Structure 1
Amino acid sequence: MTTSPIERAADSFAAELARHRTGRGLSKKQLATLMGFDPSYVSHVEGRRHRPTEDFARRAEAVLEASGAIWQRFREYDELRHGRTGAAHRDPPVPGQWLPPGTGLVVEREVATLTHTGDGYHCAIRRELYNAGTEPITRYLVRVAVDRYPNDPGRSNRHHREHPLTFAELQLTAYRDDGNGREPMHWRAKHDRDAFKEIWLLFENDEGRFPLYPGDRVTIEYAYRVGRDKWGPWFQRAVRLPTRHLAVRLDLPADLDPKVWGAETSLSAEEGPLRTPIQRSVDGGRVVFDWGTDDPPLNARYRMQWRFRSPEPDAEPDNAPSGGARVRASDRMRAVGIVQRGDDLLRQRARQFDLPADEQHAREVIDRLAAMLVRLDELHPFSKGVGLAAPQLGIGWSAALVRPADRAADPVVLLNPRVVDAATETDEQYEGCLSFFDHRGLVPRPLRIDVEHALWDGSRVITSYEYAMARLVAHEIDHLEGRLYVDRMAPGVPLVPVEEYRETGTPWRY
């Protein structure tokens, strides 16, 4: 029997959530999908197995359009939980639509321009930002990726290994403009790889700091240069924040007679042509190609590609088929350094760390796994979550990293893990593997597993995982024990070629 005020408030929140959900005709799984949560999460909240969080309440309020009722129930619960009174509680407004947790940024307009300069390319990005969140923002993450031979991943990987992209050659500049003047922005490197950089643009410079406060707007501009020897014939924009309008422009020399086409991918669709045409115009000796879209979906990718029908002076031939021939998924994974099926290392049991003596080594391995997951985001939208085990990077140590479907959640670090208990109830769902990404396989897994694993200090703990996380974690532990998911498939069940697989972008079914 519920007796405490906090428990009664939690009951009221769960009841309000269920009332609005059923009123909308939504199942728990459907609501969880719309909110961006694991399909079982709504069930856990309504069943009082999970306490509601602010992020959950905000998303539920926005998705169900509850006129503030769900949010009010959460406020009552939250004030009791923290011992606050209603008068003392300053509450930010409920957003009109849910935003990814951990960021309140909205891109109101992005204009990305790539200009051929003869010896290379100049890229300029202009973004109009609005802080719709509750906290000041002090930095903004940007990515720079190059791929010299997009139709030949192996060749491109070798090329960038021998000729890595450097921060010095980028000549990166960044500015902010809040309407009261233009200020330079400092920047700091986050990841530095041969063909990929992640950079924090800081809302500060030598003259001071200028955070973007809740409710404020600012325009940021940043630009960089890449030589023709490193930039391939493509320009991609990825939608990582809620975006109202995206515009892309290519400015190419007319005397090279450029031919341009485009493609798009999203969490719910495989690659296909751009849904709207690219507009072509001539301006003196330049040919300008413009394309834009309103309200692009989160995690969508838009790529414009081109070829010059008149060869560039001193240009090295690409030997690539015109029109952008499709590259096998496994080739792309191999090109970025993922060990592929058939390598003996994937069939060997990984070596255990001696913690805490091996702590520094273990942290270095986890850092490499984390950096690779960032790189992989450029290649595929992992809507169901993703994991990576050290042997898949050619590292024979017992470490893995698992990122849940909710990208705001912290990745799960697994050191020397082993399954110590599992539910008898199982289900079968399709899995993919970075080490043979051309196929998907129907794999039975337990709905719950208990995993004993090491912490950095050498102590061991047991963590229980359910449903999607149980499947993701079990997949990576298999890698550390020298197994692949095909070993767990029922006899006679065939692998499905990725071209025939129809569930890309759909959530796990629980």
Structure 2
Amino acid sequence: MTTSPVERAADQFVTALAHWRVERGMSKKQLAARMGFDPSYVSHVEGRRHKPTEDFARRAEAVLGAGGVIWQRFQEYDELRHARGTALHRDPPVPVQWLPPGTGLIVEQEIAELTYADGAYRCRVRRSLYNAGAEPVTRYLVKIAVDRYPHDPAGSNRHHREHPLTFDEMDLEAVAGEGDAGEPMQWRVKLDRDAAKEVWLLFANERGQFPLYPGRRTVIEYAYTVGAEKWGQWFQRAVRLPTRRLTVRLNFPAAFDPQVWGVETSLAAEVPVRTPLERHEEDGRAIFEWSTDSPLLNARYRLEWRFRGPGAPSYAEFAPAERNGDRRASHQMRGIGIVQRGSDLLRQRARHFQLPREEAQARETVDALLASLRRLEDLHDFSKGVGLAAPQIGRSVAAAVVRPPDRAAEPVVLLNPRIVGESGDRDEQYEGCLSFFDYRGLVKRPLRIEVEHARHDGARVITSFERAMARLVAHEIDHLEGRLYVDRMNAESNLVPVADYHQTGRPWDY
């Protein structure tokens, strides 16, 4: 039986999807998790039991990095599908369902703004909601959390036990609808802890109820206040409902000279946000804005900042003085996009390049590593030398660069490396890690290693490294195998906080 152009286009889309999924080494379940879909949904699309949707195609393209192929195949299918509907003079089509089946409430747009004034932060969140489900929505869950020292959980816990967040100080208010049609929303406490609150915003008040019925839209807006002594220098948005567009704004006094950057956290990585922040000044205020379309479910987007001008609240103002050096160290690494300890990406074995077929991708990854290395050397004096592996910049591929202790030497590039030989002689030295830069630890390693690695053309070579370079290279190869230096430490050894480490700026002793 002859297939129609629409069916052929759908088949081509599915073929491209399956090809790139296999190319990236993902199962259907893994791809579904990365895309934020139900695990069975990818199977249904690949099995042609569900037609692809625009949102599905966008997310598949973003996760698989297919160079636009998946998105192009969807557009070809979508154009033919709509063209056929017009030719048959059918009723106007229902807008393409951009969400997986069974979806209820969705966020068509979120605008979250954080404003600092008079020693406190005021958070205001505006969400445009659409009920795509089959039941009326009568309440909306809001989660509020503070973390004064995000890189020091124990310190934060102590601080918030002594200075708990209270509903009285928060002055929480919420409204549904816009303008004269806006209705104040009552709220009910679901969780009340020192540093975290959860409340149900009710589509109701003393005048009655106003549920959001299936197929209807509304806007809700809520706001609350937190003092600067309880709010760390970060503002995070978590995508808990399917969302079409997310916008985040920070509004600070320009006199504070704020410096702002963004980090995206997913199940697999922590990387800089993929689009730049926009900044403008207005009436003595510095306003930063960042937006993204169709963010993945469960993704987290965090804007962080520091103030350099006079009169600004100090991050260290309420912190134990002996810990300030530690906090700044990891804060700087995170700020330039170095994936930090705790990310699943640092515990995965990196995928080897297929060379020379993937030469362009390998070169692009090396360029990105070298660019990050240059930014690192602007922040810190790496007298012992420094290395950087692709997983540390959010890429699970087998590439690393190592700059020797001699600053005049060119960085060594390692593609698909593996240790094929090592000396019996070993020594124990303190190591640090860019993904765990608050501490140093004693690690025993061989004084010489032989490493087999690839050139861009696919040829394999073996290079011998000794002493400092042997340690640096072995450290980076560990990263590519999903291992951290703490895994190699003696069980009796303790990590040393960087503030107590006295060998910074000095080469290793041999």
Give the TM-score normalised by the residue count of structure 1: 0.49
Q: Which has the higher contact order (CA 8 A, sep 6+)?
A: 1
